[in-house]
Chains A and B, each alone.
Chain A
Amino acid sequence: MKDILWYIILSLIVAGLIVLGLFWGSVDVSSLDENSIYIIKNIRLPRVLMSLLCGAGLAVCGSAYQAIFQNPLSDPYILGVSSGASLGAAIAIILGLDIIFFGIGGFAFLFALATVWIIIKIASVGNRLHTTTLLLAGISINFLMAALIAILMVLSSENMEKIIFWTMGSMSATKFSDIWIVFLFVLIGIIIIRIYARELNAILTGNESAKSLGVNVEKTKKIILLFSTLMIGIIVANCGVIGFVGLIVPHIVRIIVGSDNRKIIPFSIFGGMIFMLLADILARVLIAPSELPVGSITALIGSPFFIYLLYNAKKQLNP
């Protein structure tokens, strides 16, 4: 019963923010004339929809990653997976693959998957993942990707602007045609992760513990990593790197509903939508008529939050 009340409140907040996102911006659309309708329908609506999808997808990916890596500080951005995807996207652009259907998305996904594989290889000790090493691996990958992208930008200066977009994150270039493909992947990803929510709970109590409860740990982890990374790839390919959503949202959700992933996932969908919509509105209006990259807004909120969590968790993670 209590949950239903929460869902109603959260839905109302999302609805309110959608309205705000459609009507508030650098251009006054209160007259609702032809021009205003055009702006709302063709510029703001796609952005709002993309923000909803990205927010939900990134937040659910974050909670999935935290379960798979058994580490409350995991998030696709911190682990370098998003940067990996953005490198893939940059390479696809330089190779001119943006004309092929799914060219950028496919490259972003493959690079994201490769990054996941690398950090798991680096951080594995026996059949466990070492927490500190995992975070350090992610940070190093982030450095490496940043360097490679910088080199690509210099070598391919005509594409510089497009590539910058991928490293900072933005909803501004959203078209309706992109939304459908993002919607499809986010929907499939969330459904798969929700199906395995109970298995993820068991994995949070340890690999051996989960196995003795009858969970096929390796298979579950592979499936969840594959589909969440696919979501990351497709989101990065369309909106660039937007960090910390997957860290902040599940954390706040956990404070409200506890650690049961069967609840965390639906609540993260709402939390992610709200957070992303707010971030995109702020990105548009803070220095209007200019615009900030939305990734910088999430990072401004996210990095202090991450430092705070790191500070709180250091005793717990390093006994």
Chain B
Amino acid sequence: MKMGEIDLILEAKNISYFVREKRIIENISFSLQRGGFYCVIGTNGSGKTTLLKSITNHIELSSGVVKINGKPIKKYYQKQLAKEVSIVWQHNEFLFDFSAFQVVMMGRMPYQKLLQADSQNDLEIVKQSMEKTNTWHLRNRSIKQLSGGELQRIMIARALTQESPLMLLDEPVSSLDIRHQFDIMELLKKINKENKTTIFIILHNLSLALKYSDDILTLKDGHLMHFGKTRDIINKENIQELFNVEAEIIDKDNIIINK
């Protein structure tokens, strides 16, 4: 990298995704700097999850290019990509009874060859991730018996064991109570600071976005409306425009929604 050049981990250029004639996202361009804490907000159906899937090769883009570390994602093998990007999905269904430990260990898969057993190094990384997410005591519990907050922390621990420089999360706190929402966000902030992991998180709660994220992307009807510093973008006019509600920003961390 040349001096003075900004270190970009992900670049999306003019990406669009259409299902038959219907556009889900259209002509979105943005780039993420290494080490940043980004959040995405927008109404239901505005294309947030589609955006997440389209920048991780989970759906076939109709047009546009996504690059990670300067290399188009299409050129990555699935396994290579999993070393660069980890994802915490919104829905986690477990019909089969894995222990929390086994689920977190799956995060090591990108590094393991076929038939290779879990190494001492893998075990160490799993332990570290589970300690960091405060889930080591849950390691022998069945994944089916965890509470919502515990399950999210386990899924974040699994993403951590992938040791990827970029972590994407799809509404990880939507189904949690306020206390657990803060816990998860504090954890992500810690991961962002300590592991230098770039965080890209879809959120519904504007207060959390304001409190924790450095930068924000806002989506409406599949279009990128704003992209910039969170504190500049979350204001009365923009919230009105995006969600069609009256809002009042009380201070740096708090928003009151009137309507």
Contact = CB atoms under 8 A, between A and B. Distances in A.
A205 B103 contact: yes
Contacts of A96: none
B106 to A, nearest CB: 6
Contact of A213 (B102, B107, B115): B107
Interface string B94-137: 11111100110011011010110000000000000000000000
Nearest to A313: B95
Nearest to A213: B109
Interface string A196-221: 10110110111011011111100000
A319 B257 CA distance: 33
Contacts of A16: none
B78 interface: yes
Contacts of A198: 109, 112, 114
A130 interface: no
A70 interface: yes
B82 interface: yes
A138 interface: no
Contacts of B103: 205
Given A211-B58, A214-B83, A206 B93 contact: yes
A208 B89 contact: yes
Interface in A253-287: 254, 258-260
A212 B109 contact: no
A208 B98 contact: no
B102 A195 contact: no
Nearest to A212: B87
> Which of A71, A72, A215 has the most chain B CB atoms inside 10 A of its CB?
A215
Contacts of A35: none
B99 A258 contact: yes
Interface string B150-169: 00000000000010000000
Contact of A216 (B78, B86, B92, B97): B78
A211 B109 contact: no
B115 A72 contact: no
A258 B82 contact: no
Contacts, number: 78
Given A71-B95, A204-B96, A212 B85 contact: yes
A318 interface: no
Contacts of B86: 212
Interface residues of A, number: 27
Nearest to A255: B97
A211 B78 contact: yes
A214 B92 contact: no
B79 A260 contact: no
Given A215-B78, A259-B97, A205 B92 contact: yes
B96 A209 contact: no
B56 interface: yes
A206 B92 contact: yes
A196 B112 CA distance: 12
Contacts of A259: 96-98, 102
A195 to B, nearest CB: 5
Given A212-B56, A214-B79, A214-B83, A204 B95 contact: yes
Contacts of A31: none
B82 to A, nearest CB: 3
B85 A202 contact: no
Given A198-B109, A213-B82, A72 B95 contact: yes
A165 B86 CA distance: 52
B61 interface: no
Interface string B178-194: 00000000000000000
B28 interface: no
Nearest to A71: B95
B208 interface: no
> Which of B53, B87, B96 has the most chain A CB atoms inside 10 A of its CB?
B96
Given A212-B56, A259-B102, 10 more contacts: A70-B95, A198-B114, A201-B102, A201-B106, A202-B109, A205-B106, A212-B85, A213-B162, A259-B96, A260-B98
5 contacts: A72-B95, A195-B114, A208-B87, A212-B89, A214-B80
The 4 lowest CB-CB distance pairs between A and B, nearest first, are: A214-B82, A214-B79, A214-B110, A259-B96
